[in-house]
Structure 1
């Protein structure tokens, strides 16, 4: 039994292993505490507001002064419907250069939209003459034009009104 007692004495004389602080569990706990402190005391990120769109300037246009707004060279695309001038630049792929409705850009599109035609003869030829009164259009055509106008009112900004050169020169604009 000496041998057994010797082993027990040897085992008892050993110092217990020092408790170590560096265990994986303690590292995870410390990381969680540090992350929580970081979230609590970090500087808040400043709120950034989106830039507002540029202000809409309401102007009076004549057929000649509306003509440059055809979207060429990346400029804005405007056209008129029953005297209202719409900024349709957001729909540049439809109304700008190369788009299916590009012949209306910078022009009075009322007759063409009412008749469902993109033909050149639907556009006013005399830019200094009176505006198209659309008086010869039928009920169906006027309803179609009203539908287009309502759609444009919902989607695009009205940036002005279209008047004849004579009205503009008389100061009725």
Structure 2
């Protein structure tokens, strides 16, 4: 036999099926695209109309007597006022100090002059008789007067003056009732 080259027949393997083109619309891409769309919408959507906070009610300078000042002690949602040397300060913004429960709460709605001058928060420093005369502070020594001036300057810098304190029965007090 003649040497004839043997033909080797290789077994035929099945060819892989045609691969599908990679799709862009996979579930993860859909989720990412959705999140991106939501973020873009939230950034670009028009916001609602801007509203300014309500202005506080106007404060009118008025004349107080000790009894008419007393309700302004921060209770029952009232503002907090206190008097220093005849001038009434609105200390409502310092309610945590001068309002109910604060360290200076006994001065709220009262003349705080003597207590501030003497550096005392005791009830003894307050005028007990609201219908009586105002405290003239004549018996204060120079150091106490200086302390009171310091307190008064601090209040002037920080708080609005809303009125003045006059004794009960004064002509100015009578004019405010009319």
Fold shared by both chains (TM-score > 0.5): yes
Which position in structure 2 is the counterpart of 1:58?
Answer: 61
Aligned residue pairs, count: 168
Question: Helix, strand or coil for the counterpart of 1:2?
Answer: coil
Distance 2:101 2:56 in 1: 26
Distance apart, 1:135 and its partner CA: 3.1
Structure 1 regions of 5+ residues with no counterpart? none
Distance 2:160 2:52 in 1: 22
SS at structure 1 position matched to 2:47: coil
Distance change >3 Å, CA 107–CA 24, structure 1 → 2: same
1:23 aligns with 2:26: yes
2:172 is equivalent to residue 168 of structure 1 = yes
Structure 1 equivalent of residue 118 of structure 2: 115
Q: 1:105 and 2:120 equivalent? A: no
Higher helix share: 1
User: How well do the aligned residues superpose, as a CA RMSD in angstroms?
Assistant: 3.3
Matched residues in 1 for 2:23 and 2:128: separation? 93
TM, length-normalised to structure 2? 0.70
1:124 paired to 2:131: no
Contact 1:62 1:168 in 2 (8 A): no
Q: State the 4+ residue runs in structure 1 displaced beyond 4 angstroms.
A: 169-172
If the length of structure 1 is used for normalisation, what is the TM-score?
Answer: 0.72
* Cα pair 1:86 1:159 within 8 Å, conserved: yes
Contact 1:77 1:89 in 2 (8 A): yes
> Which stretches in structure 2 are left out of the alignment for 5+ residues?
1-7
